[in-house]
Amino acid sequence: MSQYGYVIDNDLDFSKREAYQLFVNYFNNPILSKIKNENNYTLYGAKIGLLLRDNRYLLVSSPQDNHPVGTQFKLEDIKWNMLQTRTLTEEYNCNSFSYNPTKKYPYNTRIFLDKRYDEMSTYKCKEFNLTVCMLHTDNTKYQYPDIGYLAGALETYNSLFKIEI
């Protein structure tokens, strides 16, 4: 293979790249700042620049690295394990960015209920091999419907996304 060159990120499956690109495109590849290392993971994040008083964040967890807190990378340059859109009470010292949400394909892809728990409901998005966890905020197991859309889950700011490849 070396006679033809080397494959960049050859450890990244094609369908996983497609799922990564899904989120990069949705959020316009924002710059995320390293927030902290915790439990063998590194947390990177950026605040959504809204006029609301909510602390809304795009967060990604990756295997722990040695970069200092505050180091910045574009979303496409982080090999994350879990992506979150969250509304938090704490405030992180990180970049802020804005984007225009869309409900067009592929973000209108359906997600289907897998399991309900007291604190969250989990969904499967078969088209992109994603597990979506929707955190309950109103103390009921039935806060979210049995079928939803990827864009709707992203915009709750109470969701976690894991690529299952």
Query: In this predicted model, what pLDDT tens digit does every residue of 88-108 receive, in sequence order?
Result: 998 898 989 999 999 999 999
Confidence of residue 6 (pLDDT cuts 50, 70, 90): very low
> What percentage of the chain has pLDDT greater than the value 90?
78
Confidence of residue 49 (pLDDT cuts 50, 70, 90): confident
Q: Parallel, antiparallel, or unpaired: how do β-strands 96-97 and 41-48 relate?
A: parallel
Which pLDDT tens digit goes with each residue over 17-39?
A: 888 999 999 999 999 999 999 99
**CB contact set of 117 (below 8 Å; sequence gap of 6+):** 141
**Residue that has been written with the tokens 């497609």 in this structure:** 18
Q: When comparing pLDDT for 42 and 4, which is higher? A: 42
Burial group, residue 65, by CB count within 10 angstroms (0-12, 13-18, 19+): middle
Instruction: Say if residue 3's pLDDT is above 50.
Output: no
* Amino acid 2: pLDDT: 41
Instruction: Say if residue 158's pLDDT is above 80.
Output: yes
> Model's pTM, two decimal places?
0.88
61-86 mean pLDDT: 96
Dist. CA 146–CA 6, nearest whole Å? 44
Q: Quick check: helix, strand or coil at residue 45?
A: strand
Instruction: Say if residue 13's pLDDT is above 90.
Output: no
Between the two ends of the chain, the Cα-to-Cα distance in Å is 25
